[in-house]
Amino acid sequence: MLNRAMRHTAFLALGLLSTACGEQEAAQQLPAPGSNEASEHARDLENDAVYNSQYPKGQTFQVRLAGQEEPATAVLKGGYAFVGDQVIGEVSGTRVISADKQVILRLDGDTRMQPMGSGIVNATGQKWPGGVIPYEIDPAASAETRSAFAGAKADYDAKTTIRWVPRTNQADYVRIVTADGCWSYVGKIGGRQDLSLGSGCGVNPARHELGHAVGLAHEQVRQDRDSWVTVNAGGSQNAIDRGSAGVPLGSYDFESMMHYRNYFVNGRWDYVPKTGFPAERVGNDGINSFSGGDLGAIAAIYSGSAVTGVCFYSDADYKGERFCTTGDSAWFGSLWNDRISSIRVGSGYEWTVFNDINFAGSALSCGCDVPNLGQYNFNDLTSSFRVKKK
């Protein structure tokens, strides 16, 4: 069984974890709020939360997922069935019902289980009409859960066409809860679907789980995965990653928010890129935002959705990576800073781009599409922007 130090070798720069010797000692050693030690403590909690949700412990059974040739190892824990941090079913009486309403498991007593050999789980989900996702927050949700959701939601609002909107009376919706770990169903399953942001699930894990609800699968299970990485089973990985089911959208994205973190265990990395990409950068920890591949995947899935606001593109003629927004940004972030080459605007909106952060420096404004900012000597100069509704 892996211990904490082995799991987190990849995060030594953030501070080694220590094991508390009882509740009293742990309470005495809590760092002061706002200190560097507190920040490292929060990151350690997040590392644990993400790891435990990626590899939950519980009763295991085999299930054949849609699109996979080999059965996957699923885990039954806390009233849900998981493959990694993806929920594939929920306990209902003495049965486990999959997202597509099939019986995938029968429960016989407290410890015995009877897998249903015919169970085929549809783990891909469905799109939310118009990219609009109704949500409600469980009244019992913690302040930490609410803060993580708000931070991730703000990113979706600013950089994608997905809109998380408070539920009124919609039948299909996401309920944000504080449960054990960070997990979600994939796509819209119909009716209420829970999404957990438990203790330690900060904004980055929340962005990942919201991505699942949007309809994104894990990057490391895409069908062409083995052409890009070698997966070392026997480290922190288990059988859940041995299949390849995710449909490829664009090139393999080592830094996708949907890629599992890379752990260095037993002298080797879980994922070893075949392209020479540094193994220590696999996963999203260095970015803590959407990657270009994430934005492109969301745009590809929801390309038929109505686009409002302003869309920014990395290449001329509205090509390349893009994201759309109806809000302002004082800084594009390291991913998009000085990379904008064309702009498309929705009806009723206008934009202003600035060549410095915090809305400073030279500016360019319009309520029109611009296929090439080079014609205004503004190509690849944008560092901040404002979007205004007319």
Domains of the chain are: 55-90 (no CATH), 118-304 (3.40.390.10), 307-389 (2.60.20.10)
Q: What is the mean pLDDT of residues 297-312?
A: 72
Query: Tokens representing 115?
Result: 């897998």
Judge whether residue 147 has pLDDT over 60: yes
Environment class of residue 204 by beta-carbon count within 10 Å: exposed (0-12), middle (13-18) or buried (19+)? buried
Tokens 């085999």 -> residue: 62
Percentage of the chain exceeding pLDDT 90? 27
Q: Which amino acid is at 198?
A: G
From CA 350, how far away is CA 390, in angstroms rounded?
A: 7
CB atoms near residue 1 (< 10 Å): 4
The neighbouring-strand residues paired with 137 are 176
The residues, any chain, with a CB within 8 Å of residue 151's CB and separated by 6 or more, are 202, 203, 206
Element (H, E) at 164: strand 163-166
Q: How confident is the model at residue 34 (pLDDT cuts 50, 70, 90)?
A: low
Q: Say what the pLDDT of residue 20 is.
A: 25
- Among 104, 59, 94, smallest CA distance to 78 is for 59
Q: What is the mean pLDDT of residues 106-128?
A: 63
Judge whether residue 135 has pLDDT over 90: yes
Question: 3-class SS at 163?
Answer: strand
From CA 130, how far away is CA 274, in angstroms rounded?
A: 38
Cα–Cα separations (whole angstroms), residue 337 to 131, 155, 292, 298, 388:
26, 16, 12, 20, 20
Q: What is the largest CA-CA distance in the chain?
A: 72
Query: Tokens representing 265?
Result: 């265990």
**Residue 183 contacts residue 82 (beta carbons within 8 Å):** yes
Q: Say what the pLDDT of residue 6 is.
A: 32
Show binding-site residues for Zn(2+). 208, 212, 218
From CA 258, how far away is CA 302, in angstroms rounded?
A: 17
Environment class of residue 221 by beta-carbon count within 10 Å: exposed (0-12), middle (13-18) or buried (19+)? buried
Query: Tokens representing 345?
Result: 């605007």
Q: Say what the pLDDT of residue 5 is.
A: 31
From CA 192, how far away is CA 150, in angstroms rounded?
A: 20
Look at 31 and 125; give whichever has higher pLDDT: 125
Judge whether residue 192 has pLDDT over 70: yes
Percentage of the chain exceeding pLDDT 70? 79
Q: How confident is the model at residue 322 (pLDDT cuts 50, 70, 90)?
A: confident
* Strongest mean pLDDT among 2-11, 219-228, 332-341, 358-367: 358-367
Query: Tokens representing 36?
Result: 């560097």
- Helix, strand, coil content of the chain in percent (nearest 5): 25, 30, 45
Phi and psi angles of residue 279, each rounded to the nearest 5 degrees, phi first? -60, -35
From CA 390, how far away is CA 54, in angstroms rounded?
A: 45
From CA 213, how far away is CA 197, in angstroms rounded?
A: 13
Q: Say what the pTM is.
A: 0.69
Show binding-site residues. 208, 212, 218
Residue in 209, 219, 255, 321 annotated catalytic: 209
Vertex 306, ends 304 and 310: CA angle to 5°? 115
Element (H, E) at 36: helix 36-54
Q: Say what the pLDDT of residue 105 is.
A: 84
Q: Which amino acid is at 216?
A: L
**Residue 213 contacts residue 134 (beta carbons within 8 Å):** no
- Among 212, 205, 159, 151, smallest CA distance to 182 is for 205
136 labelled catalytic: no
Q: How confident is the model at residue 388 (pLDDT cuts 50, 70, 90)?
A: confident
**pLDDT tens-digit map of 49-73:** 888 888 888 888 887 776 666 677 8
Q: Say what the pLDDT of residue 202 is.
A: 94
Judge whether residue 156 has pLDDT over 80: yes
Tokens 């000085």 -> residue: 338
- Ordered DSSP codes for 252-270: --TT-TTSPPP-EETTEES
